[in-house]
Structure 1
Amino acid sequence: MSVEALNAFISKHGLRDGDALPPERQLAEMLGLSRRELRAALSTLEASGRVWRGVGRGTYLGSRPIRFTPTVAGLGARTSPADIAEMRLAIEPAFAALAAIKASPEDLAELENCARKNATARDDEEWQKWDHRFHLLIAQATRNPAIIALMEAINGVRARPTLREKTVDDRNRQRFAAEHKAIVDCMLERDADAAYARMRDHLANVAARLHTRYASTEVDE
């Protein structure tokens, strides 16, 4: 119902791509929703590309404009999906550990929902949408603007057609979805060490699969 209420608000006020939504607190009051319900609705719209949110910028309709898309200099020029996965393995476990300590109950609820969406993804496109969202939510749960900006940049690079980490088949998607759930379970227990280990294991599996794939073939996406 919260997504429907938000869509109705957008339609009623004639908002278009590029228009800003009111601040969360004000919008929640206008819609008669809790902040948690509103954030869940915004997350759904963000995952489908209907809105974009920037740290310190607010929430806007449409996809993120190129001028606001975070980038990391050098990524993409001579980079493969396996290189990106290896980089993520070096840094994201620490993000998960910090998030396990700092995540709010609302953050954890969103992560649980996102992990469920991963588990029910029907194809690679749907998987990628919720996978990117999952890892960004963990960065956001750290409450660290630098980490959030870095994860946004990494997701921006991963979304490029030449660098998409295709999950290939349902078996791999289910395997990775189970690993996502294991990470969330550790965060629910506020176990930073276990969250670190589970994220490390997950990204090691991603990196291993991509290294195997790109060792014998050129990037073809």
Structure 2
Amino acid sequence: MEKSALDRLLDYLAQHNLKDGDALPPERSLAEALGMSRRDLRAALASMEAAGRVWRGVGRGTYLGARPLKFSASLRSLRAGSSPADIAEMRLVLEPAFVELATLKASPDDLAELEKCARRNATAKDDDEWQQWDHRFHLLIAQATRNPAIIALMDVVNGMRMKPNAREKTADQDTRRHFAMQHQDVVKAMLERDGATAAARMRDHLLNVQWRIPSQRERGDDAVR
């Protein structure tokens, strides 16, 4: 049986004794070394990134392991003291505008990755798997803007959401399914290059996120996403 692109990439890393903190070769060189297309390589790297096994820095390249704090965006100080409600409110202000811009600038490959990510959201079996694909979904939208400042800001927002006392939970399958459908609605509008509708669908989604947070706090549970 032919190995998947991800398995071939993992074999390459093991054969070259690459470890956390090491830089991967440039995408073109790595794809040639692995004998695969750059699209297949990007999909394998995306899977590793979603699992927190690689990180990418704008203008820096791709590295194994989790993103070191020294390479985090300077806005990381915003994380201190931010509650789930604070984060949800900030996202409601920012992300509809991000997705409207991304709709105009996204490449066909960007849209294909977003479709894939939305499908993975829909099949997530637990909160940890949901979080991986949800964070990637929102980061992919930022990356599709081709704006380094927006990408860095979204990276910070995702980091804020991962704080133990601020991490949002998708506690049940019905919640995950509902939000996955909203993600798919966003992607559908993006595929139609309808930025206004994509922004409206993102706003609906984030209002739904925001609406759930206070009620969850009243029960003394973690915030639901």
Residue 59 of structure 1: SS of its match in structure 2?
A: strand
**How many equivalent pairs are there?**
221
Q: Name the residue aligned to 2:200.
A: 197
Residue 31 (structure 2) pairs with residue 28 (structure 1) = yes
**Which of 126, 130, 142 is the equivalent residue of 1:127?**
130
1:6 aligned residue: 9
Aligned to 2:113: 110
Contact preservation (8 Å) 1:119, 1:178: yes
Confirm whether residue 18 of structure 1 aligns to residue 15 of structure 2: no
Instruction: Find the counterpart in structure 1 of residue 63 from structure 2.
Output: 60
Q: Which has the higher contact order (CA 8 A, sep 6+)?
A: 1
Is structure 2 residue 168 aligned with structure 1 residue 183?
A: no
Counterpart CA distance in 1 for 2:223 and 2:170 is 14
The alignment-based identity, stated in percent, is 62
Gaps of 5+ in 2: none
In the alignment, the residues of structure 1 paired with residue 133 and residue 76 of structure 2 have an alpha-carbon distance, to the nearest angstrom, of 25
* Cα distance per residue 1:6-36 (max 9 Å; x no partner): 1111111111111110011111111122111
TM-score if structure 1 supplies the norm length? 0.95
- C-alpha contact 2:117 2:133 (8 A) present in aligned 1: yes
- What value does the CA root-mean-square deviation take over the aligned residues? 1.7
Are the aligned partners of 2:102 and 2:142 in contact in 1 as well (CA < 8 Å)? yes
* 8 Å CA contact retained: 1:71, 1:154: no
Describe the SS at the equivalent of 1:33: coil
- Matched to 2:36, the amino acid is L
User: 2: distance between equivalents of 1:125 and 1:10?
Assistant: 25
Question: Are 1:72 and 1:154, in contact at CA under 8 Å, matched by a contact in 2?
Answer: no
More divergent stretch after superposition (54-63 vs 27-36): 27-36
- Contact 1:162-1:220 within 8 A present in 2 as well: no
In the TM superposition, residue 66 of structure 1 has moved relative to its aligned partner by 1.7
Q: Give yes or no for the alignment of 1:138 onto 2:147.
A: no
Which residue pairs with 2:49 in the alignment?
46
